[in-house]
Amino acid sequence: MTCDFHVLAAPGVRNLQPYQPGKPESELRREYGLSDIVKLASNENPLGPSPRAVTAIQSVLGDLARYPDGNGFELKTALSAKLGLSMAMLTLGNGSNDVLELIARAFLTAEHEAVFSEHAFAVYPLVTQAIGATARIAKAYSPNHAMPCGHDPAALLALVSERTRVVFIANPNNPTGTWLTTAELQGLLEAIPPAVIVVVDEAYFEYVEPETDCPNALRWLDRFPNLVVTRTFSKAYGLAGLRVGYAVSHPAIADLLNRVRQPFNVNSLALVAAAAALEDVSHLEQGRAVNRAGMRQVQDACRQWGLNWLPSAGNFLCVDMGRSGREVFVELLKRGVIVRPVDNYGLPQHLRISIGSAAENARLIEAMQDVLRG
């Protein structure tokens, strides 16, 4: 007889729902026998990584028998030069997801609480629960607010108590695309007690347009030592498959995060690719231009269909389908287009569409046109 392992599991793990990733292209190919598939489901960069990153990877292929540099010295040097801050403030992660987990492990216990918003990135509840800590979920702004479904700073603040150790803020947020303005985020940082870690997850920072009032939170690191800013190479840098991200924080926080970090959490290919990608400013700019044009292309189509979308500062659009988002998702799958239902985020009528290349967006628009007509 097998043992009841469920009972043996740590309390936080017992009721954990696994993260639901975007459907991989290979899976759709297997299930539906389709060949021409467009995946706009995981906010990946349609241009892929910088060619310099690929060359850098090729240059280290002969060294795969060696462990990576556990301190990530060269990548940290490059990041520290780029961001203009000390290496002691950096923590590297196997994706920024890893960094979010390090933060939970370093600061949360079963006695503590993490605060975040409704519709916020799904990894916050996951890392909180896995530790056995309690999640306190703030109501988001209403769908009629100027920032519909966005984080509400007053609601977040109202949940901060003696038991709060971490506040998670995604800016801009995934899957909504919404953001806290400079004044909102600064006000929140001023109001949250200094003994509460405030994580500002800037996974889409590189996509934020200059005219959008979505702040670069690094500017507040000197003023608020309890601030941790996380970023990633998975989105604008096009390196999602390699898994590399980082946190920027006060050195004392970085020291703690580095204590709970696996010694070799970032692999050697990711380390060199990320450092090379940082140098290729023009590739990043090209990706932003593709995203700008794609946003217009998809928004124009939505306008013609009479569909509303949430404001987005990222490389994706959360569109209100006015009916079950999951049903439309399935209809699009049959037509070889993968997008993301967001019912698990409390948005049953929305679909999150990643902005792709012009051709990929055109495929989406054509398939959607077909679904909406049907």
Q: Using CB under 6 A, list all residues that contact ligand PLP.
A: 43, 95-97, 121, 170, 174, 201, 203, 232, 234-235, 240, 245
Strands (E), 275-325: 308-309, 316-320
Closer residue to ligand PLP, CB minimum distance, 169 or 290: 169
Find, among 187, 195, 203, the residue nearest to 160 by Cα.
Answer: 195
Shortest-Cβ-distance residue relative to ligand PLP: 95
Which among 183, 133, 96 is positioned nearest to 10, based on CA atoms? 133
Residue nearer to ligand PLP on the CB measure, 92 or 192: 92
């698990």: which residue's tokens?
344
> Could you give phi then psi for residue 59, rounded to 5 degrees?
-70, -20
Least CB distance to ligand PLP at residue 295 (A): 17
The nearer residue to ligand PLP, 41 or 253, going by C-beta atoms, is 41
Shortest approach of ligand PLP to residue 131 CB, angstroms?
18
Query: Residue type at 106?
Result: A
Shortest distance (Å) from residue 124 CB to ligand PLP:
9
CB of 203 to ligand PLP, least distance (A): 4
Considering beta carbons, is residue 34 or 122 the nearer one to ligand PLP?
Answer: 122
Work out the number of other CB atoms within 10 angstroms of the CB of residue 291: 24
CA atoms 63, 67, 68, 73: torsion sign? negative
> By C-beta, is 43 or 312 nearer to ligand PLP?
43
Q: Greatest CA separation found in the chain?
A: 63
Minimum CB separation of residue 316 from ligand PLP in Å reads 9
Query: What's the min distance (Å) between Cβ of 242 and ligand PLP?
Result: 9
* Cβ-count burial 305-314 (b if 16+ within 10 Å, e if not): eebebbbbbb
Nearer to ligand PLP by Cβ, of 205 and 220: the residue is 205
Q: Name which of 275, 280, 316, 279 is nearest 45 in CA terms.
A: 316
